Every structure is written in structure tokens, then in C-alpha cells.
């Protein structure tokens, strides 16, 4: 496999190093990050689907229920 040398900032290096697991190379980390981006997210998935009234109603209900949830900060 061919190799390329790139220059990155100290900040970018530290960010990659935080994501890097013990037996993982920086190449592995970069590929993992870029694959995630290529796979998209749930919003991309929803946008790719045909309009569905039943799904819209379920999603609306979930959003309304989440608005009612209140999480208090513990006091120590």
C-alpha cells in the first residue's frame, strides 16, 4: 500500500490521538471518522424516505413527549 505524508496542527493531532484506541493506527482513526460521515445519520435516513403520515405522527408524539421530560441537576 502506498503511503502519503500529511501535516496537521497540534490541535488536530491531539483530537485524533483522543479517538485512537490502543491497537489502532492514525490511519484507522481517520478511516473510521470518514466512514461514519459517509454512512450519514438518522436525519439523512428520514430525508431519504417517502412521505409517511403514520411515521410523521409517531415522530411528532415522540418530540412532544421529550419536551415534557425534565431532568434536575443533583445537589451535593
pLDDT class of 45 with cuts at 50, 70, 90: confident
Question: What confidence score (pLDDT) does residue 67 get?
Answer: 86
In a domain, 60, yes or no: no
Q: What value does the mean pLDDT of the chain take? A: 84
Q: Is the Cβ–Cβ distance between 29 and 16 less than 8 Å?
A: yes
Distance of CA 70 to the CA centre of its chain: 24
Structural domain for 28, as ranges: 10-39
Is pLDDT of 40 > 80?
no
Angle made by CA atoms 18, 33, 22, in degrees to the nearest 5: 40
Average pLDDT over residues 25-42: 80
Per the domain annotation, does 3 fall within a domain?
no
Quick check: 37 pLDDT over 70? Answer: no
Question: Which pLDDT belongs to residue 9?
Answer: 93
- Residue 20 and residue 26 in contact, taking contact as beta carbons nearer than 8 Å: yes
Write down the pTM of the prediction. Answer: 0.47
Tell me whether residue 33 is in a domain.
yes
Query: How many Cβ atoms sit within 10 Å of the Cβ of residue 19?
Result: 13
Amino acid at each position: 500500500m502506498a503511503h502519503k505524508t500529511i501535516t496537521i496542527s497540534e490541535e488536530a493531532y491531539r483530537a485524533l490521538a483522543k479517538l485512537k484506541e490502543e491497537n489502532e493506527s492514525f490511519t484507522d482513526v481517520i478511516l473510521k471518522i470518514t466512514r461514519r460521515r459517509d454512512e450519514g445519520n438518522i436525519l439523512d435516513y428520514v430525508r431519504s424516505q417517502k412521505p409517511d403520515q403514520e411515521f410523521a405522527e409517531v415522530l411528532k408524539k415522540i418530540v412532544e413527549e421529550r419536551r415534557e421530560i425534565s431532568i434536575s441537576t443533583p445537589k451535593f
